Amino acid sequence: MKKRADDDSGVAMILVMAWGLLMMGIVLAVSQMVVNQVVPSDRSEHSYSALAAAEAGLADLQARIAVGTIASVQADTTNLALKGWVPVPGGNTNSEFTYAIDGTKSGAVGEVRAYATGRSGDVTRTVEAVLSKRSTLDYVYMSDIETPSPDTPGVYPTTLYGTSGKTYQEIAATLCSRRWSESGPVTVSTTGAIVNGTQRNLRFCKWAGIFATERLIGAVHTNDVWWLENTSLASTLQVNGITSSCRKVTGSSDPGCPDNHRFIASSAVSSGTPSQYQGDSWSISGTDSTQRNPLYDSVLDLPPSPDLLKQRAAETGCIFTGPTRIRFSEEGGIGYMYVTSPDTKKTRAGCDGADGTTLQSAATSQVTKKVALTDFSDLVIYVQNVHPSTEVDNPALNYTDPLQKYYWEKQNRWASGTEPTCTLKSGKKYPFVIPNDATDKGYFNAGSTYKGFPSELADVNSPWYGTGCANGDLYVQGAYKGAIMLATDNNVILTSSLRDSSLFNAAATTASADYGRPSTTSLSVLGIAAAKFSYAYRPVTSASAWVGDWKSANATNPIYNFALLAIQKCWGSQGYDLSTTNGNIYLWGSIAQKYRCAVGISGSSGYGKIYKYDDRLKLRTPPYMLELSDEPWGKERMGEMTVEREGLSTPTTWQLLRPDDVGATVKNVKLASAPDATKVTMTPSGSQVTLTTTMPGLIVVTYEVTTTDTRDVRRLVVLAE
């Protein structure tokens, strides 16, 4: 039977099929939307887990460093996280981490870089942490004991104390060589009887306080108790910038220092009564009474000696023997040092501008050598004492470091056991070092017979000169360029300004705290570690006339850009209590000392102080100076980073320069960390490096990018999988 023309049953079927297809499409679209939503959520969860794993790895690494050393952690063959992936401990997670540590600059610049990568599923994330540690470099001023070293010239008489048979200096050594709140001898009778007590004698032991005429811009700290002038110090100290390690221990019989009383009033010093503190009633600004009361902070121990720096100098730097003069200079954009060291028999080749044997010279015809600093990286210069041959040739002595034995003893001795420069000239005239350089000679007054240091008029028995011309004293000044560390067996004497050659604000008025500020972009930095005294060299025409032939202009308003550490003694100025003033000391940097010496008496002699902390020390430290600190490494800053990637057994070439590194060159490419260094092949070539590894994990390569004026340490971090 034929269908009628108006029969729509076929159309209905088509519509049903079309509707079904449409519904199926909608279902598929909705399903895909659901899937698209589920996948990112799952990946986000993996991302969070990977970051948490990376942070867990960093925490594990820091915990290991806290109970060991950088070297011991790097050498720990049982730590699988240094060799590849390990599970995150605890919890129900499948996440893993691996990490690497770059300690190549832990000594040179005081910085450790730690890298930890976390993995969850197919997602990895990496964090980088810069580790540092507390040190004297955190402060513009720091002391261990706030009283002068007992043998500081001009503080305690050298005459006998009553009938005790001891001098005032010897009594001071008994009573004053400790922090105020430590128990020990407190009085010595005129017949020599010692009485013990609970704190340092306030009346016999001298004080060098902080006064309103000074400016200390930056954090200051003492392990002792402060003596603060009884007047406003609002322009002297920054708010909450002063700390002390003195505190009262509950239940203890020691005097201690209760909160907000970590300083002693002038009246307490004059009366000798230790219970008289300045407290909250002392107002420094009329309304504020506590902002500059010292806060408590833990003891920061000074290193016992600079011997570690001697080792670093023996390895890669310069060692000079006996009294030495160094004058730094920048000429044509290149840093130089002019060295006069007549007792130096041998040093490292290049440290004398020649083969290491050209500095030794006779007492009356000494030589000065010009040395370019461009070939040195993180230079350590050490000035050691002359050692008699009887000590050097004694086979019973135990020399544990062959480098020190070679440079310190065998090559630098005088075979006769005497020191040729220890010869009196014209009766009492006694120069140790006579620079044979026209510029240096010009610093002396005309007519002087000997243009040398310390002076032809010097008192050779003064501790300022080490009581003998065989000691490792360094006389230094000039404009330096580069990263340099100076250290000595004895004293460091500043004969004039010692400053960064990129001086930023030389035209500032002398009343400005910015006077002598180095350029904020300068990479030059200098540290000083004197085993004993460090002091400013002044022409003193009264009393003993120590330096009558040194021009006053050399000592007037000196500019210092350095971080200084006087390990066993203190920082001061020669003849601080004699003659007229020489203006102010303008310091951009840091000063730390065992004791507290004076640089002047306000308005009458010596120097005023304008010290300002150099913020660059937070990021760039003098070579190996931070290595002297025994404080633990702690996390200074942390952030996430993107690492490079390469496959196993696949040579990959990496470009080390950035597009804006115009005129730069790459130097000192080193493998800083790898899961197994024997499994890595590294081939530097110009501005590139090719890596091949057969072991998974993090690889860290360090290198230097240098231009005419800059030197930048960079790192290539690669995750091999």
Q: How high is the mean pLDDT of the chain?
A: 81
Other C-beta atoms closer than 10 Å to the C-beta of 677 total: 13
Architecture of the domain defined by 643-720: Sandwich (2.60)
User: What's the first-to-final CA gap in the chain, in angstroms?
Assistant: 76
How far does Cα 158 stand from its chain's mean position?
36
The letter for the amino acid at 290 is T
The 8-class DSSP code of residue 13 comes to H
Most confident range (mean pLDDT) of 151-155, 391-395, 573-577, 654-658 is 654-658
Tell me the C-alpha distance between 430 and 386, whole Å: 18
Tell me the C-alpha distance between 280 and 262, whole Å: 11
pLDDT, greater one: 573 or 711: 573
Assess whether pLDDT exceeds 50 at residue 399: no
The pLDDT value recorded for residue 89 is 87
Nearest to 318 by CA among 267, 378, 263, 244: 378
Other C-beta atoms closer than 10 Å to the C-beta of 449 total: 11
In percent, the amount of the chain with pLDDT more than 90 equals: 38
pLDDT, greater one: 135 or 29: 135
Nearest to 598 by CA among 227, 181, 88: 227
pLDDT, greater one: 551 or 283: 551
Q: Considering just the CA atoms, what is the radius of gyration of the chain in Å?
A: 33
Assess whether pLDDT exceeds 80 at residue 85: yes
CA separation, residue 701 to residues 523, 651, 688, 704 (Å): 22, 15, 12, 10
Of 17-21, 210-214, 495-499, 535-539, give the lowest mean pLDDT range. Answer: 17-21
Assess whether pLDDT exceeds 90 at residue 429: no
CA separation, residue 6 to residues 12, 17, 491 (Å): 13, 21, 119
Task: For residue 163, give both structure tokens.
Answer: 């009938």
Instruction: Provide mean pLDDT across the span 659-686.
Output: 90
Omega before residue 150 within 30° of 0, cis: no
Tell me the C-alpha distance between 573 and 634, whole Å: 36
Assess whether pLDDT exceeds 60 at residue 494: yes
Containing 174, the helix (H) or strand (E) segment is: helix 168-175
Structure pTM?
A: 0.79
Instruction: Provide mean pLDDT across the span 354-376.
Output: 87
Tell me the C-alpha distance between 260 and 283, whole Å: 12
For 423-432, which contacts have Cβ atoms below 8 Å and span 24 or more sequence positions? 423/363, 425/363, 425/364, 425/449, 425/450, 425/456, 426/456, 428/457, 429/456, 429/457, 430/455, 430/456, 430/458, 430/460, 430/469, 431/455, 431/456, 431/458, 432/322, 432/323, 432/465, 432/469, 432/473
Of 152-156, 232-236, 688-692, give the lowest mean pLDDT range. Answer: 232-236
Q: How many helices (H) and strands (E) does the chain have?
A: 9, 37
Assess whether pLDDT exceeds 80 at residue 376: yes
Most confident range (mean pLDDT) of 11-15, 239-243, 660-664, 670-674 is 670-674
pLDDT (tens digit, 9 = 90+) per residue, 86-137?
999 876 678 999 999 998 877 666 678 899 999 998 899 999 988 888 899 9
The pLDDT value recorded for residue 25 is 57
Tell me the C-alpha distance between 297 and 631, whole Å: 14
The pLDDT value recorded for residue 74 is 85
pLDDT (tens digit, 9 = 90+) per residue, 347-360?
888 999 998 889 98
Query: What b-and-e string marks burial along 151-163, b requiring 16 or more CB atoms within 10 Å of the CB?
Result: bbbbbbeeeebee
The letter for the amino acid at 45 is E
The pLDDT value recorded for residue 700 is 94
The pLDDT value recorded for residue 231 is 67
User: Torsions phi, psi of 516, nearest 5?
Assistant: 85, 10
Nearest to 501 by CA among 337, 665, 712: 337
pLDDT, greater one: 224 or 544: 224
Tell me the C-alpha distance between 711 and 620, whole Å: 12
User: Torsions phi, psi of 595, nearest 5?
Assistant: -110, -175
Answer whether 593's CB lies under 8 Å from 149's CB.
Answer: no
Instruction: Provide mean pLDDT across the span 179-185.
Output: 88
Nearest to 477 by CA among 514, 442, 446: 442
The pLDDT value recorded for residue 507 is 60
Most confident range (mean pLDDT) of 303-307, 456-460, 634-638 is 303-307
Domain chopping of the chain, boundaries: 9-133, 307-628, 643-720
CA separation, residue 206 to residues 152, 172, 195, 429 (Å): 11, 9, 19, 33
Tell me the C-alpha distance between 317 and 310, whole Å: 9
Assess whether pLDDT exceeds 50 at residue 293: yes
User: Torsions phi, psi of 655, nearest 5?
Assistant: -85, 125
Tell me the C-alpha distance between 172 and 151, whole Å: 8
Instruction: Provide mean pLDDT across the span 195-223.
Output: 87
pLDDT, greater one: 68 or 705: 705
Assess whether pLDDT exceeds 60 at residue 227: yes
Assess whether pLDDT exceeds 80 at residue 165: yes
The DSSP line for 541-582 is: -STT-TTTTB-HHHHSS-EE-SEEEESSS-EEETTTTSSSEE
Assess whether pLDDT exceeds 50 at residue 425: no
Neighbouring residues of 390: CB distance < 8 A, sequence distance ≥ 6: 417
The pLDDT value recorded for residue 588 is 95
User: Torsions phi, psi of 476, nearest 5?
Assistant: -140, 145
Assess whether pLDDT exceeds 70 at residue 315: yes
pLDDT, greater one: 240 or 156: 156
CA separation, residue 217 to residues 285, 426, 468, 526, 607 (Å): 17, 47, 37, 20, 17
pLDDT band, very low/low/confident/very high, at 29 (cuts 50, 70, 90): low
CA separation, residue 154 to residues 71, 158, 159, 577, 644 (Å): 46, 9, 12, 8, 63
Ramachandran bin of 553, using left for φ above 0, alpha for ψ from -120 to 50, beta for the remaining angles: alpha
The pLDDT value recorded for residue 417 is 36
Tell me the C-alpha distance between 481 and 372, whole Å: 10
Assess whether pLDDT exceeds 60 at residue 269: no
- 365: Cα within 13 Å, side-chain hemisphere: 2
pLDDT band, very low/low/confident/very high, at 635 (cuts 50, 70, 90): low
Tell me the C-alpha distance between 84 and 74, whole Å: 14
Nearest to 259 by CA among 250, 268, 272, 269: 250
Most confident range (mean pLDDT) of 41-45, 265-269, 423-427, 512-516 is 512-516
